[in-house]
A = this chain, B = another copy of it.
């Protein structure tokens, strides 16, 4: 008999009574963490000196979280289910920490919190203490895949975790405040993408305690009818667990979880017999309990329990206001702290812990929460089989994303058995020319099918929901539970996830310093339809700011790649799919473009990050200019085209100019290694850009970003950066370059301004000016670019 089954041999009434005592103990530990720096078990009367000098933390959500935790423990004991808990209200950290302490998993990652009286005292004291336990859940908390900072992302994370984990149940507590956020409101639709035959289940528990920090929540004042309608509309089966009398709520919660578990298994069995029929009506719970449940009803004549005043500290100043100290003491004693430890030995009461599962059944040790330990590297196909043939630089054209899609198609194929790779995408696979993916898989889709539908199937591994935030949340959840993926999106819409990017980067950074957190696969962004190819769209679709946002991470977690052609894109993505613990941003156009490097050269370029392209200037690789007169540098596919065209004009008109062309593919390699570890060494940097030659730099994004990156480099003022200046209108691709002063002709003119005058300089400047005038007239008349500058 497993320990779990032994526990269940006890009569239910006894187990319910124990569960209630466990709940009281967890409530005590949660409240004590907020307040006490001493007298941890209230073995003597509470004094002002026992109170922490700075009170920081939240009570309001804790009793509900403790209730959920205790009852999930019970469910696990009865079913041996693998349960991962995702906690939306992560500011309820003391509650989760209390449970992790009691089940022993907190002590396993940090022995100062071992299952002992000392550990218990440390838990209470170290919470929100300098150098101690943070007031929000985060990577340092075992069992978590969710930062307790920004609200609204738990449900998408939960669904991401459940994908392709058929035995996993992800319980997801959603706060009623956070339910008001957009990301959360959208994520309810994730049920339409989760295949019960091959994935696990998400059990949403909407915790309606009625109040946010400042006032009532919307969901707290919706009628039960409205709530039932809303979630029935979303496609769920709703069950309410409501009340303020603990024993009645315990009984209801016990039954509700049994019901939910049975429903989940019924849906899964049905689907696994091949009987799936549309979107299953998954169970969800709506838990309605008072805000700050069991705290003082009133303090100083003001109602506290069941009001917004219970959100943070129900008793606000027990050390400073003598009248509040006994109120706090009475409150804390109601949880019977004396029952926590045996008076003589100081050991924790075993009976209290009898409701906790054991080993990996404990929520704090669910293996999926430390997904790196489950990570299976992708089997990647051989790059060389996918490269575009390039007889000479510029001698071929290809659509980079289309090429990439054939590679990714085979990533799907080669990892079909492992079921550990997905592409998420807000409705862009067609526009981004990724259709070859659908030779190996489909779009995930459980809804009804029509006769004309294409590439839709419940087992599809491409997830297209028109919500960048849901896509981001899914992939974060998928990666943090040990799988791999790519997020494809339109460049201009990516700032919608700026905030989520910040949080994921912080998660990765913090995780690196935790020895017990294993490495996870990197988050790979593939952005297309970029600022220089907005096509159907206008000014509002020209937003290269996500690139700046990723570059601003500037730590070892972020990389930005601007592959100039299809082979470079392949080499970059191959490297991204092998990388760990990073955020990789790759920006490329979906349009057909000239190809510069063969696949081997692309691989080399990828390794170096920045290379001199001698063939584009007038040096040979064996005979490069020690002191070039001018360096032309490009970063980005479209800027590279213009730089190469500008170089050709200069070579033709000013043949004696010592000209070098440099291509920047790994943008952050520009940074000095003292501020960015993967930055080029100073010697390598000088080898490329020389010490003093003027550099005309054509850049995909906002020019000032390059100046920022070059800040610690020698003589940065000689870099003259052309990039996106927020200039646009309905116009042609080449005219977009002209408007932003980055066309080949303007780059040549900028170069002429920076070099020593040459005999042919004035003629060349005049030629370029003439070309610009010709071009302006041509597009007005014909509506398209002149053939010589046309890109597709």
Q: Which residues of A contact B (CB under 8 A)?
A: 37, 52-54, 56-58, 91, 128-136, 138, 147-152, 177-178, 180-189, 192, 212-218, 221-222, 226-235, 303, 306-308, 312, 427-431, 443, 445, 447-448, 450, 452-456, 464-470, 492-493, 495-496, 498-499, 502-503, 506, 509-510, 535-541, 543, 545, 548-549, 552, 554-555, 702, 704-705, 707-708, 711, 726, 729-732, 735, 779-780, 782-784
Residue of B nearest to A733 (CB): B54
Residue of B nearest to A704 (CB): B708
Does B129 contact A554, Cβ atoms closer than 8 Å? no
Question: 14 more A-B contacts (CB under 8 A) besides A181-B186, A215-B454, A704-B708?
Answer: A52-B783, A56-B535, A128-B536, A129-B783, A130-B783, A131-B730, A147-B540, A151-B466, A189-B218, A212-B427, A215-B455, A217-B466, A229-B229, A545-B552
Residue of B nearest to A228 (CB): B233
Whether A150 contacts B443 in the complex (CB less than 8 A), given A134-B538, A218-B465, comes out as no
How far, in whole Å, are A218 and B447 apart by their CA atoms in the complex?
Answer: 8
Whether A53 contacts B782 in the complex (CB less than 8 A), given A91-B536, A182-B470, comes out as yes
Does A135 contact B538, Cβ atoms closer than 8 Å? yes
Residue of B nearest to A307 (CB): B452
List the B side residues contacting A509 at CB < 8 Å.
726
Q: How far in angstroms is the closest Cβ of chain B from A111?
A: 19
Q: Which of B129, B213, B231, B707 contacts A233 (CB 8 A)?
A: B231
List the B side residues contacting A450 at CB < 8 Å.
216
Does B784 contact A537, Cβ atoms closer than 8 Å? no
How far, in whole Å, are A128 and B445 apart by their CA atoms in the complex?
Answer: 35
Does B129 contact A730, Cβ atoms closer than 8 Å? yes
List the B side residues contacting A91 at CB < 8 Å.
536-537
Q: How far in angstroms is the closest Cβ of chain B from A475?
A: 15
List the B side residues contacting A468 at CB < 8 Å.
181
Whether A536 contacts B150 in the complex (CB less than 8 A), given A177-B427, A226-B232, A233-B226, comes out as no
List the B side residues contacting A216 at CB < 8 Å.
445, 447, 450, 453, 456
Q: List 19 A-B contacts (CB under 8 A).
A: A128-B730, A130-B731, A130-B732, A131-B779, A133-B730, A135-B538, A149-B539, A180-B189, A180-B465, A181-B467, A214-B443, A215-B445, A216-B445, A216-B447, A218-B447, A221-B447, A230-B233, A306-B452, A502-B545
List the B side residues contacting A214 at CB < 8 Å.
427-431, 443, 464
Does A303 contact B212, Cβ atoms closer than 8 Å? no
List the B side residues contacting A538 at CB < 8 Å.
134-136, 138, 148-149
Does B134 contact A539, Cβ atoms closer than 8 Å? yes
Whether A215 contacts B540 in the complex (CB less than 8 A), given A493-B499, A495-B498, A545-B552, comes out as no
List the B side residues contacting A782 at CB < 8 Å.
53
Closest 8 A-B residue pairs measured CB to CB? Answer: A149-B540, A230-B233, A182-B182, A229-B233, A185-B185, A495-B499, A221-B447, A182-B186
Does B186 contact A54, Cβ atoms closer than 8 Å? no
Whether A495 contacts B506 in the complex (CB less than 8 A), given A135-B536, A445-B216, comes out as no
List the B side residues contacting A128 at CB < 8 Å.
536, 730
List the B side residues contacting A188 at CB < 8 Å.
185
List the B side residues contacting A548 at CB < 8 Å.
548, 552
How far, in whole Å, are A448 and B223 apart by their CA atoms in the complex?
Answer: 9
List the B side residues contacting A469 at CB < 8 Å.
181-182
Q: How far in angstroms is the closest Cβ of chain B from A108?
A: 20
Does A541 contact B783, Cβ atoms closer than 8 Å? no
How far, in whole Å, are A235 and B731 apart by their CA atoms in the complex?
Answer: 44
List the B side residues contacting A130 at CB < 8 Å.
729-732, 735, 779-780, 783
Does A539 contact B708, Cβ atoms closer than 8 Å? no
How far, in whole Å, are A217 and B705 apart by their CA atoms in the complex?
Answer: 38
List the B side residues contacting A731 at CB < 8 Å.
130-131
Q: How far in angstroms is the closest Cβ of chain B from A122?
A: 13
Q: Which of B132, B215, B502 contacts A443 (CB 8 A)?
A: B215
How far, in whole Å, are A313 and B517 apart by their CA atoms in the complex?
Answer: 50
List the B side residues contacting A541 at CB < 8 Å.
136, 149
How far, in whole Å, are A427 and B60 apart by their CA atoms in the complex?
Answer: 15
How far, in whole Å, are A233 and B234 apart by their CA atoms in the complex?
Answer: 10
List the B side residues contacting A231 at CB < 8 Å.
233
List the B side residues contacting A735 at CB < 8 Å.
130
Q: How far in angstroms is the closest Cβ of chain B from A498?
A: 4
List the B side residues contacting A150 at CB < 8 Å.
492-493, 496, 540
Residue of B nearest to A509 (CB): B726
How far, in whole Å, are A148 and B133 apart by their CA atoms in the complex?
Answer: 46
How far, in whole Å, are A215 and B131 apart by their CA atoms in the complex?
Answer: 51
List the B side residues contacting A217 at CB < 8 Å.
466
Whether A543 contacts B502 in the complex (CB less than 8 A), given A131-B780, A467-B181, comes out as yes
Q: How far in angstroms is the closest Cβ of chain B from A353?
A: 27
Query: Which of the listed residues A177, A216, A779 has the most CB atoms from chain B within 10 Å of its own CB?
Result: A216
Q: How far in angstroms is the closest Cβ of chain B from A570?
A: 23
Q: How far in angstroms is the closest Cβ of chain B from A776?
A: 9
How far, in whole Å, are A443 and B56 apart by their CA atoms in the complex?
Answer: 26
How far, in whole Å, are A503 and B545 apart by their CA atoms in the complex?
Answer: 12
Does B540 contact A466, Cβ atoms closer than 8 Å? no
List the B side residues contacting A429 at CB < 8 Å.
214
List the B side residues contacting A493 at CB < 8 Å.
150, 499
List the B side residues contacting A151 at CB < 8 Å.
466
Residue of B nearest to A734 (CB): B130
List the B side residues contacting A707 at CB < 8 Å.
707-708, 711
Q: Which of B134, B499, B549 contacts A730 (CB 8 A)?
A: B134
How far, in whole Å, are A54 and B785 apart by their CA atoms in the complex?
Answer: 10
Whether A784 contacts B53 in the complex (CB less than 8 A), given A181-B467, A466-B177, A732-B130, comes out as yes
Q: How far in angstroms is the closest Cβ of chain B from A629?
A: 24
Query: Which of the listed residues A58, A136, A443 has the most CB atoms from chain B within 10 Å of its own CB?
Result: A136
Residue of B nearest to A298 (CB): B452
How far, in whole Å, are A499 and B218 apart by their CA atoms in the complex?
Answer: 25
How far, in whole Å, are A506 and B492 apart by their CA atoms in the complex?
Answer: 13
Residue of B nearest to A151 (CB): B466
List the B side residues contacting A37 at CB < 8 Å.
783
How far, in whole Å, are A182 and B221 apart by their CA atoms in the complex?
Answer: 21
How far, in whole Å, are A186 and B492 apart by their CA atoms in the complex?
Answer: 22
List the B side residues contacting A729 at CB < 8 Å.
130-131, 134
How far, in whole Å, are A226 and B281 apart by their CA atoms in the complex?
Answer: 11
List the B side residues contacting A730 at CB < 8 Å.
128-135
Q: How far in angstroms is the closest Cβ of chain B from A535?
A: 6
How far, in whole Å, are A617 and B216 apart by their CA atoms in the complex?
Answer: 49
List the B side residues contacting A228 at CB < 8 Å.
233
Q: How far in angstroms is the closest Cβ of chain B from A87?
A: 14
Q: Which of B181, B427, B502 contacts A213 (CB 8 A)?
A: B427
List the B side residues contacting A133 at CB < 8 Å.
730
How far, in whole Å, are A686 and B132 apart by their CA atoms in the complex?
Answer: 46
How far, in whole Å, are A541 and B150 apart by their CA atoms in the complex?
Answer: 7
Whether A182 contacts B467 in the complex (CB less than 8 A), given A229-B232, A707-B711, comes out as yes
List the B side residues contacting A235 at CB < 8 Å.
222, 226
Whether A456 contacts B215 in the complex (CB less than 8 A), given A148-B540, A783-B129, comes out as yes
List the B side residues contacting A185 at CB < 8 Å.
182, 185-186, 188
Residue of B nearest to A139 (CB): B539
